[in-house]
A and B are shown apart, each in its own frame.
Chain A
């Protein structure tokens, strides 16, 4: 455990030293399913944020720190990325792995997100890897059944806990947010007493915090 900080520093440095990382503004070629592949309803993009320990995460340096990882448009392309990524539970230090619909930045300020919010489940260490896999399989497979409301998913690795979030477009649409909560409970096999929180991105922008001052739900 004591090595965490140093590992995080080291990995951040190595990620930062490469100069070919595509930043958020760069135009990319659209990704399409290959021949014979199984198309996803939407193309999705993986992003990775290796945070620098001890530095305040303002939205400015958030945008500088975030790394484009890759875009997938078919089930086969998804597995090609996912199978060659470290599991969230094995990541060191303080980092976030995002999977968002292509064209939606994993930021509160994005037009697709600004009226939205997210469901949050704060997990004990040791549970995030499987929860993340279950969540993204359901999201890519269109199992949430809320039309086009889903924006993306995030797993946030922290020192004492790991946090799973699902972002949706319209925070005020209670029927949709309830369905997302109930589906999340099923696909993650959450026990009945699990604490789930919802936070509107507008509130996150106000208090500049992702996981504080949430609305709490226990079922």
Chain B
């Protein structure tokens, strides 16, 4: 969609990073940060790459063309599922 009209002028952020800039700065440490370690059900000992570096799965490709919504919300909206 085009930019939303009607938004009053706002101050531009000083620190802005486009998607490619964020990804170009990806260079994580081998070990998880100390604060993360106690949250055992969330931590991954192995460092994982951003998903942006992996191609879309077949399911993701199909969804992009059809629908991404859950059956639950489609049902509430009366669009079956």
Residues of A at under 8 Å CB distance from B?
11-12, 14-15, 18, 20-21, 38-41, 48, 50, 67-71, 75-77, 79-87, 91-92, 95, 97, 121-127, 129-131, 133-134, 137-138, 140-143, 145-147, 160-162, 174-176, 178-179, 181-182, 185-187, 189-191, 193-195, 197, 216, 218-219
Do residues A76 and B44 form an inter-chain contact, with CB atoms below 8 A? no
Docked CA distance A189–B43 (Å): 28
**Of B45, B64, B67, B69, which is in contact with the most chain A CB atoms at under 10 Å from its CB?**
B69
Docked CA distance A190–B50 (Å): 19
What are 8 A-to-B residue pairs whose CB atoms are below 8 Å?
A38-B15, A38-B17, A80-B28, A83-B48, A91-B41, A127-B63, A175-B8, A179-B3
Dominant secondary structure of chain B at its interface with chain A: loop
Number of interface residues of B (CB under 8 A): 61
Do residues B73 and A161 form an inter-chain contact, with CB atoms below 8 A? yes
Do residues A97 and B63 form an inter-chain contact, with CB atoms below 8 A? no
Against A, the Cβ 8 Å flags (1 = close, 0 = not) of B30-69 are: 0111011011111111111111100011011001111111
Q: Which residues of B contact A145 (CB under 8 A)?
A: 10, 12
Dominant secondary structure of chain A at its interface with chain B: mixed
Known: A75-B25, A131-B68, A133-B50. 11 other contacts (CB 8 A): A11-B41, A18-B40, A21-B38, A76-B25, A82-B28, A127-B60, A160-B71, A175-B8, A178-B7, A182-B3, A191-B63
Choose among B26, B35, B59, B70 the residue that contacts A161 (Cβ–Cβ < 8 A).
B70
> Chain B nearest CB: distance from A195 CB in Å?
5
Do residues A14 and B41 form an inter-chain contact, with CB atoms below 8 A? yes
Choose among B45, B52, B70 the residue that contacts A122 (Cβ–Cβ < 8 A).
B70
Do residues B68 and A219 form an inter-chain contact, with CB atoms below 8 A? no
Do residues B41 and A124 form an inter-chain contact, with CB atoms below 8 A? no
